[in-house]
Amino acid sequence: MMDGTPGAQISMSESETDVSANHKRNAGIPLDMGWVRATRVNLSATQRRAQTLTSRRSVKSKWQAAWLLRAITMIDLTTLAGDDTPGKVTRMCAKARQPLRQDLVDALEASQLKLRVGAACVYHQRVKDALAALRGSEIPVAAVSTGFPAGLSPFPQRIEEICQSVEAGAAEIDIVISREHVLRGNWRALYDEVREMRQACGDAHIKTILATGELGPLWHVAQASKVCMMAGADFIKTSTGKESVNATLEVGLTMTREIRAYRELTGYRVGFKPAGGIRSAKDALNWLILIKEELGDEWLNNRLFRFGASGLLTDIERQLSHHVSGRYAAGHHMPMA
């Protein structure tokens, strides 16, 4: 570990910088049904491992502050509500540009980090509003498409949604898969669906949302992860945030191990995005520990790991305020914008 301030500790090592610079996009591979059918998940072992993740490591004091600063850079700051307006998106994007109060940045000696979130995630209708609010910031806009969250729109319409979001300027597209293909074991249909969506995205990166809370047993999650990666997904994502069960550490463990296996098979690094129900700084630390232990430090950057969250940033800011002052600030001291 390094000595010094949290700001110094978050700086990327040479090896991490090389990973970001040399990151090669997943091109996908032909569907390998043998690999899909060979999938096995030991449920009890997965549950035990997930439980021990939260107790094996304890990150405190300046080290916790450094991890939380890193977590900020990995957030896809999100608003996906029926009452989204241009003003609401503009306020969220202001927070994306300056996620931490300036007095906290100064106290943590983190000015050189130029903190910003990983992306701003909105519905297609709000893409242009987000782009206008983020102009000059280099923060990408991610759009949810393909009949989010259920993914039950006619397939041509879902492809058209992707095309329209890309044309509007979205750099990342979060798509939802057809859960029916997973539940019925129709892996060819899932592969072809994601492959066509990936082609529609063009240069925009595609994050495939599995909606794991609706897929049944963990081996379905593992199989769906494999198929989506073979079809060319840049990220695999746990949830839409609209299911009754969203991101859990058991699901995260299953998906990250499939990412590791795919890397060993193909050489491609695929990103991972847990989403839904991640609201506290403690949650963020648990997920970062999972990534560090299962995938290693090369995944601890926003090229390969993101949080999908709307309320997480507020609690991280609150915890950093406590680290600086020794007191928890009232909520109105950390408004969304």
Q: How far is CA 70 from CA 199, 226, 284, in A?
A: 32, 28, 10
Question: What are all long-range contacts of 63-67, with beta carbons under 8 Å and residues at least 24 apart?
Answer: 63/1, 63/9, 64/285, 64/319, 64/323, 65/6, 65/108, 65/320, 65/323, 66/6, 66/7, 66/9, 66/10, 67/284, 67/285, 67/288
Beta bridge partners of 175: 208
What residues are annotated to the active site? 174, 237, 273
64 three-state secondary structure: helix
Which residues touch 30 (CB under 8 Å, ≥6 apart)?
A: 230
Q: CB neighbours (10 Å) of residue 155?
A: 14
- Tokens linked to 31: 């569907």
Return the closest-CA partner of residue 236 out of 22, 17, 26. 26
DSSP 67-88: HHHHHHTTEEEE---TT--HHH
Backbone angles phi, psi at 311, to 5 degrees: -105, -5
Question: Alpha-carbon distance 127 to 122, whole Å?
Answer: 6
Write the burial class of residue 308 (CB in 10 Å: 0-12 exposed, 13-18 middle, 19+ buried): buried
Which residue in the block uniquely carries the two structure tokens 């925009």?
Answer: 204
Question: Alpha-carbon distance 147 to 86, whole Å?
Answer: 21
- Tokens linked to 180: 């029916």
